Amino acid sequence: MTKYITSERLPELWARLADRGPLYLPVNEGTAVAFRAWEEGKEVNLEAVNSTVSPKEIFLPAWETYLKFERAGKKLALAPADANGLARPVTAFGLRPCDLRAIELLDLVFVEQDPPDELYTRRRKNTTIVALACSQPDPFCFCTAFGIEPTDAPGADVLAWKTGNRLFMEARTPRGEDWLEENSRLLQEAEGVEKPPPVESADFGLALEGLPENLKGRFEDPIWDQIYRSCLGCGICTYICPTCYCFDIQDYGHQEQGERFRCWDSCQFSHYTLTAGGNNPRPTRKERVRNRFLHKLQFYPERYEEFGCVGCGRCLRSCPVGIDMVSVIRALGGETVAR
Amino acid sequence: MAERRINNMEKIRTAVAQDLLSGRIDLLLGWEKGLYWWQSRPLFARNSEDLQRLTWDSFCVANLSGYLQEELKENKKIGILLKGCDSRALNRLVQDQMVDRERVVAYGLPCPGLLDPRLLKQEAGLELTALGIEEGEDRVTLTGTKGKSIAREELLLEKCRRCHHPDPVGCDQLLLPPVGSREDRSRFHQVTRLEEIPAEERFAYWSSQFERCLRCYACREACPCCSCRECFVEQEEPRWLGKAHENSENFIYHLTRAFHSAGRCVECGECQRVCPVELPLMELSSKIIKDINELYGEYQAGLDTEQDPPLLTYQPDDPAAFVE
């Protein structure tokens, strides 16, 4: 089933979708772009490739409450979190193919485990994903190096793409069909067979075959001494990354009353691996930087037979000192094309 | 012009090569090209091969002085390339006794102001990959367009457009001719604008900004003033700051950091430049600098190391209207 809507009518669609439940989509915030719950006045940006911060926060918010506790005398009352609006169906609109692939990689960690992570899984099951095909890769994009097709998103409920003034939407799952049906009042039937227009590939000439095997035994490779040097030790790369998922669990409040919450954490922070007694198995930026890249390029493939990077290019754009996935893969020897 | 740039590069390389290869310095902190022509990144050069990659161009934005504290643990003597703002950062670190000046060879690079790739893209209306630039004395020509030429001043990074002292101070040598001071530039126009807004609206403005903070601490890590061995953020007993990315916590983080660097901020603008969600962090520091200037007289941190820092001195007649 393929339908379309013209650009002028999109605000009507946003209003209708937001009425049904939270609608997350890319909006402008100054010169940055982030996925936010739509409300009147938000400036939607369907052109940005890619959003400054990845849409993983729809499923893994920067922080969320696990449970609330309150002490009355000797009794401690526990109440589970209401999990922020999980009662209503959510629409996630405008995820790019790389971002959706990243969500599938997060599923391996949070859903396909025993037991699965409850909050993540509930959000995931409750959300209809409308992916948006890319019409022009950004200079920092290299998704095709990871076998991602910029105009296709196999895991989406609906695939959308722009052709001129029209935003086409094709249902890919039964849930996607229902979703299109629910909104059919605003949509028009596509005449003939429509397909997303092809786009150039983006891969920076990276050759990734055999890289995970090659990295085995290179834990002490002196190249890491060069790679990490200029790292500032901030958490930009991990927080904007669509596949980084580490979190911390802490309490907020005091002994009588409070909340237990989880929040993003970063393997680039000194306290990430600090243990009681003061030992830190990753004492310097070297071990932390090495961990981040080996996690994406070796540990993820070993555990899940998939790379832990989707080539979204955010670290290429935002690392203030140019330590990014492409530069590091090149330094490790994973490229075919000399530039 | 291109020729002059190549000559400049040779001058710089020759000067630092002498010191690095003779062993006067063990390490040179400079820049090299990144993935694209509009990106330059820090270079840690130890030999002549590394020096081949050394670059000085309009994108050498990172302030390298922040690396000194850590690198001096492993190196006896370090050479460092410094723009005007970077040199003030080094001076400030020396004044704070965080860096031993005797173990640093400071090479000053008078700075014409660095270009903002986003403005280049905006002006050209083209993706940067389809674009190139030719830099003249005061103008930049965008190649790839129909030869569009724009005043350099209009293409500068935000942090450079407010810079009064592009010439490095307190360096061991200047590698290029001075460019002269730029006190004609407006340092405080953004702050003045914010000051004029009613308090409630101003609070709403900062709320909406801090709400977007990722708490990645890039502003802290890039800041040459943030030289504490342990930041209050990491202190657990007592815990000053909760880890929840909640707006009240975000406020505490940013305001504490701004006040902690009061009187020490050298206005290198790195906090704002590195912020991935582009929070206007320099406005916090600018406000404090403006207040210090108004209360205690003009002061720019790192400019004159003989001048007493106003917040580290006390005089019985210091103005105290804010506590009365």
Residue B41 pLDDT class (50, 70, 90 cuts): very high
pLDDT grade, residue A302 (50/70/90)?
very high
pLDDT surpassing 90 at residue B221: yes
Selected residue with higher pLDDT from B246 and A147? A147
Q: For residue A32, which residues of chain B lie inside 8 Å, CB to CB?
A: 212, 276-278
Whether B47 shows a pLDDT value over 80: the answer reads yes
Whole-complex ipTM: 0.93
Match 């680039």 to its residue by tokens: A268
User: Considering only CB atoms, which chain A residues are within 8 Å of B221?
Assistant: 232-234
Contacts of A141 in chain B (CB under 8 A): none
Domain range annotation of chain A: 2-331
Cα separation, B227 vs B90, whole angstroms: 11
A177 pLDDT band, cuts 50/70/90, is very high
* Partners of residue B220 in chain A, C-beta under 8 Å: 234
Q: Do B273 and A320 touch (CB under 8 A)?
A: yes
Q: What percent of chain A has pLDDT over 90?
A: 81
Optimal mutation site among A234, A244, A251, A269, interface B, most CBs of chain B within 10 A: A234
Which tokens hold the place of A95? 């995820």
CB contact under 8 A, A239 and B246: no
d(CA A196, CA A202): 17
Size of interface A-B (CB pairs under 8 A): 108
What's the pLDDT at A83?
Answer: 54
CB contact under 8 A, B245 and A30: no
Is the pLDDT at A328 greater than 60? The verdict is yes
pLDDT band for position A336 (50/70/90)? low
Task: Over range B280-306, report the average pLDDT.
Answer: 94
Question: What's the pLDDT score for residue B6?
Answer: 77
For residue B289, pLDDT beyond 90: yes
Which is higher by pLDDT, A125 or A86?
A125
User: Who among A226, A232, A263 is closest to B218 (CB)?
Assistant: A232
- The SS3 assignment for A160 reads strand
Report the share of chain A in percent with pLDDT over 70: 97
pLDDT of res. B315: 84
Sequence ranges of the domains in chain B: 2-113+165-174, 117-153, 189-323
B246 touches chain A (CB under 8 A): yes
Whether A338 shows a pLDDT value over 60: the answer reads no
Chain A residue closest to B119 (CA)? A31
CA distance A279 to A60: 29
Express each pLDDT in B176-195 by its tens digit.
Answer: 999 999 999 999 999 999 99
Interchain proximity A263–B243, CB inside 8 Å: yes
* Pair B71, B25: CB distance under 8 Å: no
- Is the pLDDT higher at B322 or at A176? A176
- The answer, yes or no, to whether residue A312 has pLDDT greater than 50, is yes
A101 in Cβ contact with A130 (< 8 Å): no
Determine contact: B66 vs chain A, CB below 8 A: yes
In terms of Cα–Cα distance, which of B208, B256, B200 is closest to B232? B256
Residue A265 pLDDT > 50, yes or no?
A: yes
Contacts of A264 in chain B (CB under 8 A): 214-215, 245
B3/B22 Cα distance (integer angstroms): 28
Residue in chain B closest to A262 (alpha carbons) equals: B244
Contact call for A252 and B244, based on CB within 8 A: yes
The CA–CA distances, whole Å, from A99 to A177, A255, B37, B59 equal: 22, 40, 27, 30
Q: Is the pLDDT of residue A339 over 60?
A: no
pLDDT over threshold 90, residue B318:
no
Does the pLDDT at position B16 exceed 60?
yes
Which member of B62, B215, B234 has the closest CB to residue A271?
Answer: B234
Partners of residue B44 in chain A, C-beta under 8 Å: 226, 229-230
- Contact flag B34-A322 (C-beta cutoff 8 Å): yes
Q: Compute the mean pLDDT over every residue in chain A, rounded to the nearest whole number.
A: 93
Q: Per-residue confidence at A254, pLDDT binned at 50, 70, 90?
A: confident
pLDDT at residue B87 above 60? Answer: yes
Alpha carbon distance B277, B255 (integer Å): 18
Average pLDDT over all residues of chain B: 94
Q: What average pLDDT does the segment A67-78 reach? A: 90
Residue B249 has pLDDT above 50, yes or no: yes
Residue A337: per-residue pLDDT: 46
Under the banding of pLDDT at 50, 70 and 90, the label for residue B120 is: very high
pLDDT category of residue A41 using cuts at 50, 70 and 90? very high
Q: For residue range B91-110, what is the model confidence (pLDDT) as tens digits?
A: 999 999 999 999 999 999 99
Instruction: Give how far B320 is from chain A: nearest CA, Å.
Output: 36
What average pLDDT does the segment B126-130 reach?
92
Strands A90-95 and A127-132, by their bridges, are: parallel
Q: Locate the chain A residue with the closest alpha carbon to B246.
A: A63
For residue B137, the model assigns a pLDDT of 87
